[in-house]
Amino acid sequence: MARSYLKKAILTAVSDASDVHDTVSSILADIEAGGDAKALEYAAKFDGYDGNVVMSQAEIEAACALVPEKLKADIHFAHRNVRHFAQTQKATMQNVQTEISPGFIAGQKVIPVDAAGCYVPGGRYSHISSAIMTVTTAKVADCKHITACSPPRAGVGIAPAVVYAAHICGADEILAMGGVQGIAAMTFGLFDLPKANILVGPGNQFVAEAKRILFGRVGIDMIAGPTDSLIIADKTADPFIVATDLVSQAEHGYNSPVWLLTDDAALAEKVMTLVPQLINDLPPLNRDNALAAWRDYAEVVLCDDREDLVACSDEYAPEHLTVQADDLDWWLSRLSCYGSLFLGEETTVSYGDKATGTNHVLPTSGAARYTGGLSVHKFMKIVTWQRATREGSKEVAEATARISRLEGMEGHARSADVRLAKYFPSERFDLSAD
């Protein structure tokens, strides 16, 4: 049979961002021209906050003191896991060198960026885990300076648990500023901060657009859209767990797609019955988000078999991909387009979002077709170098001169010619393009 949609999305997560682009461009231009004062104007307008922008050590300590000991223990647990995984990733990146030809050596060197800007969302939810994911990873990469930036709440400031997480994970400065103005402050080096070499972390559509506009002047992790999640389930899956996991991701936002792919019609129908019931049991804000996401963006697809399930999943290229099916090793070997993969009901996207150590800053909107998520690698530059003996450069110089002349680049050719003339004055070389 052909694939059939038991539930089809009536909206997509891609929206017209022209108004957002114009608004963000204007704000960035204003702040770049007006500096600290203009950034503070926008902070007062959008954040409703008139407190200290760059938190002092005393303010950080006061905020940390407000965090309950049990929550501190959980933050440390997640921090240890994220740090451990990032250290494991870093171990895969090494300085290497090889002799390309006798006497000519080329190599690569891995160098961390100097300054990282980590944006931590703080609007609808206080993203403690985003502080852990971004700051820890930058710290493991050995960035010289890390700024954590998060929206303050009027009269309150940044949520104390976010401050605590950013602090213990290694932030050098904590900036109480949200949205475009926060991104601008880190990029332009306002408030005596070093200019960020890379900006990382999730955010709303204005933060995402600011990163898009600034990319090139500064590195970014990715341009993130609404979070999305896909579950592959076969007849062995537990419908209640499948439904619960779908709802857990739909609560991210009204436009956060969740998708179910299955080859079992009975399971699909059961899940579709359970999801509305589970949504209705959520707290009001979470319920509203999940209800809209399920109603407008969710899809349930009935596929032929597991080969078709793989093909269909790779077409979606989800940010989060869960497999609740038999023969997990087979799925691991076959699936190829996802931000992060969760195999079996014993794990779940929520684990990865909060505490297992793999990063939760992941590609959305199908970007998993060509990129992975945030990792220690994003904070490190792989650069190359070369050196040669005079004899080792001889063959390379001859080839360079001839190729350059064939391309019409005489200046390049002559940079090889002069070395041959200096190092081997008694020899004659055929360096023409013919």
Q: 342 pairs with which residues across the strands?
A: 322
Backbone phi and psi for residue 375, each to the nearest 5 degrees, phi listed first: -155, 175
Q: Decide if 167 is catalytic.
A: no
pLDDT at 14 over 90: no
Structure-block tokens of residue 313: 């999943």
Q: What is the per-residue pLDDT for 433?
A: 80
Pair 184, 72 in one domain:
yes
Q: Does residue 429 belong to any structural domain of this protein?
A: yes
CA distance 19 to 141: 37
Q: What is the per-residue pLDDT for 1?
A: 59
Pair 177, 324 in one domain:
no
Q: What is the per-residue pLDDT for 2?
A: 79
Q: Does residue 5 belong to any structural domain of this protein?
A: no
Pair 93, 236 in one domain:
no
Mean pLDDT value of segment 247-254: 96
Q: What is the per-residue pLDDT for 18?
A: 57
User: Residue 59 maps to which CATH number?
Assistant: 3.40.50.1980
The pLDDT tens digits for 311-358 are: 999 999 999 999 999 999 999 999 999 999 999 999 999 999 999 999
Average per-residue pLDDT for the chain = 96
Alpha-carbon torsion, ordered 189, 194, 197, 201, to 10 deg: -80
Pair 281, 401 in one domain:
no
pLDDT at 123 over 80: no
pLDDT at 214 over 70: yes
Higher-scoring residue by pLDDT: 116, 12: 116
How many domains is the chain built from?
A: 3
Q: What is the per-residue pLDDT for 155?
A: 85
Q: What is the per-residue pLDDT for 53?
A: 97
Q: What is the per-residue pLDDT for 19?
A: 84
Pair 30, 110 in one domain:
yes
Q: Does residue 1 belong to any structural domain of this protein?
A: no
Pair 274, 416 in one domain:
no
Structure-block tokens of residue 40: 């503070």
Q: 52 pairs with which residues across the strands?
A: none
Domain residues for the domain of 237 are 226-372
Contact 9, 258 (CB under 8 A): no
Q: Decide if 412 is catalytic.
A: no
Mean pLDDT value of segment 382-408: 96
Q: Does residue 383 belong to any structural domain of this protein?
A: no
Q: Does residue 216 belong to any structural domain of this protein?
A: yes
Pair 185, 68 in one domain:
yes
The pLDDT tens digits for 227-245 are: 999 999 999 999 999 999 9
Identify the band that residue 13 occupies on the pLDDT scale cut at 50, 70 and 90.
low
Which residue among 251, 320, 395, 410 is the active-site one? Answer: 320
Identify the band that residue 51 occupies on the pLDDT scale cut at 50, 70 and 90.
very high
**Per-residue H/E/C for the chain:** CCCEEEECCCCCCCCCCHHHHHHHHHHHHHHHHHHHHHHHHHHHHHHCCCCCCECCHHHHHHHHHCCCHHHHHHHHHHHHHHHHHHHHHHCCCCCEEEEEECCEEEEEEEEECCEEEEECCCCCCCCHHHHHHHHHHHHHCCCCEEEEEECCECCCECCHHHHHHHHHHCCCEEEECCHHHHHHHHHHCCCCCCCCCEEECCCCHHHHHHHHHHECCEEECCCCCCCCEEEEECCCCCHHHHHHHHHHHHCCCCCCCEEEEECCHHHHHHHHHHHHHHHHCCCHHHHHHHHHHHHHCCEEEECCCHHHHHHHHHHHCCCEEEEECCCHHHHHHHCCCCCEEEECCCCCHHHHHHCCCCCCCCCCCCHHHCCCCCCHHHHEEEEEEEEECHHHHHHHHHHHHHHHHHHCCHHHHHHHHHHHHHHCCCCCCCCCCC
Mean pLDDT value of segment 70-98: 97
Structure-block tokens of residue 17: 């961002």
Backbone phi and psi for residue 70, each to the nearest 5 degrees, phi listed first: -65, -40
The pLDDT tens digits for 258-267 are: 999 999 999 9
Mean pLDDT value of segment 98-105: 96
pLDDT at 113 over 80: yes
Q: What is the per-residue pLDDT for 434?
A: 81
Pair 186, 296 in one domain:
no
Among 202, 221, 240, the domain-final residue is: 221
Q: Does residue 3 belong to any structural domain of this protein?
A: no
Pair 214, 232 in one domain:
no
Contact 278, 287 (CB under 8 A): no
pLDDT at 17 over 60: no
Pair 244, 358 in one domain:
yes
Q: What is the per-residue pLDDT for 98?
A: 98
Say what percent of the chain tops pLDDT 70: 98
Pair 366, 433 in one domain:
no
Which residue among 319, 345, 346, 412 is the active-site one? Answer: 319
Q: What is the per-residue pLDDT for 124?
A: 65
Pair 120, 65 in one domain:
yes
Contact 361, 202 (CB under 8 A): yes
The separation between the first and the last C-alpha atoms of the chain, rounded to the nearest angstrom, is 62
Among 221, 247, 278, the domain-final residue is: 221
Among 177, 203, 221, the domain-final residue is: 221
Q: Does residue 8 belong to any structural domain of this protein?
A: no
pLDDT at 142 over 80: yes
Identify the band that residue 125 occupies on the pLDDT scale cut at 50, 70 and 90.
low
The pLDDT tens digits for 55-67 are: 999 999 999 999 9
Q: Does residue 377 belong to any structural domain of this protein?
A: no
Q: What is the per-residue pLDDT for 16?
A: 44
The pLDDT tens digits for 156-192 are: 899 999 999 999 999 999 999 999 999 999 999 999 9
